[in-house]
Amino acid sequence: MINKNRTIAVLVVVILQMIFFTGWYAKESDVFKNPVKTIMVKTQSYDPRDLLSGQYIRLTYSFSRANGRWDRELRKSVYPEWLEGISNYSRETRNKKEVWITLHEIDGFYEPKSSSFEMPEALLEGEVVIRGKRDRGSIKYGIERYFVPEGTKEPKREDTTVELNIYEGGLTRISKVYVNEKEWP
């Protein structure tokens, strides 16, 4: 009798997990069906290898560093004024992790314009907003890794650009990666 009850309990737990993950997948796939906008951004990459994750390139964007510094080698700050909205640490903002970055187009690529702890109510034409999370000295968007086939050669940092899909609520996903204006890999 005890074994039968345990078997039933385990079966119920497994079924509940299957229902949960099926619902989660359905919700996520619905959210990422139709992007609101597709944009191009410049990036830098490097090629780490992880035994568990496989081969991927790690991507850094001009809006990834919470201190405004993007290229450490060139010590280049890209539009440092975009950080003003999230750089003041007060009691109210100290624990806020979610940030909203407004991007605008410059010469075909989107660059950061402003930042805030609240989603902007109105955007000007040519602007998009993306949502990220503060994590120590950087801002994470979920688009920092791009998995590639094993043995793929790392592209040069300055030759890499990314096409991003922007969805409702500022969610982002990588659509394509380009090296020297050609789709890669």
Amino acid identity, position 32:
F
The pLDDT of residue 96: 83
Tell me: do 41 and 129 sit in the same domain. yes
pTM of the predicted protein model: 0.76
Q: First-to-last CA distance in the chain? A: 58
**Ramachandran sector of residue 15 (left: φ over 0; alpha: ψ -120 to 50; beta: rest):** alpha
The pLDDT of residue 15: 95
What residues make up the domain containing 12? 1-31
The pLDDT of residue 7: 92
Count of domains observed in the chain? 2
What CA–CA distance (Å, rounded) separates 159 from 102?
Answer: 24
Tell me: do 101 and 148 sit in the same domain. yes
Tell me: do 95 and 162 sit in the same domain. yes
The pLDDT of residue 49: 61
Question: Is residue 46 a contact partner of residue 156, using CB atoms and an 8 Å limit?
Answer: no
The pLDDT of residue 50: 64
Tell me: do 110 and 126 sit in the same domain. yes
Tell me: do 120 and 49 sit in the same domain. yes
Q: How does pLDDT run along the chain (185 residues), one tens digit per residue?
A: 678 889 999 999 999 999 999 888 777 766 667 888 999 998 877 666 666 667 888 888 888 877 655 554 544 555 567 778 887 666 677 778 899 999 999 889 998 999 999 999 999 998 999 999 988 778 999 999 888 887 777 777 777 899 999 998 899 999 999 988 899 87
Tell me: do 69 and 13 sit in the same domain. no
Tell me: do 75 and 116 sit in the same domain. yes
Tell me: do 46 and 5 sit in the same domain. no
Tell me: do 14 and 93 sit in the same domain. no
**Tens-digit pLDDT profile for residues 119-129:** 999 999 989 99
Tell me: do 8 and 84 sit in the same domain. no
What CA–CA distance (Å, rounded) separates 129 from 122?
Answer: 10
Tell me: do 143 and 73 sit in the same domain. yes
Rg of the chain in Å (alpha carbons): 20
The pLDDT of residue 140: 93
The two structure tokens encoding residue 37: 């906008």
Tell me: do 8 and 39 sit in the same domain. no
**φ/ψ (deg, to 5) at 165:** -95, 130
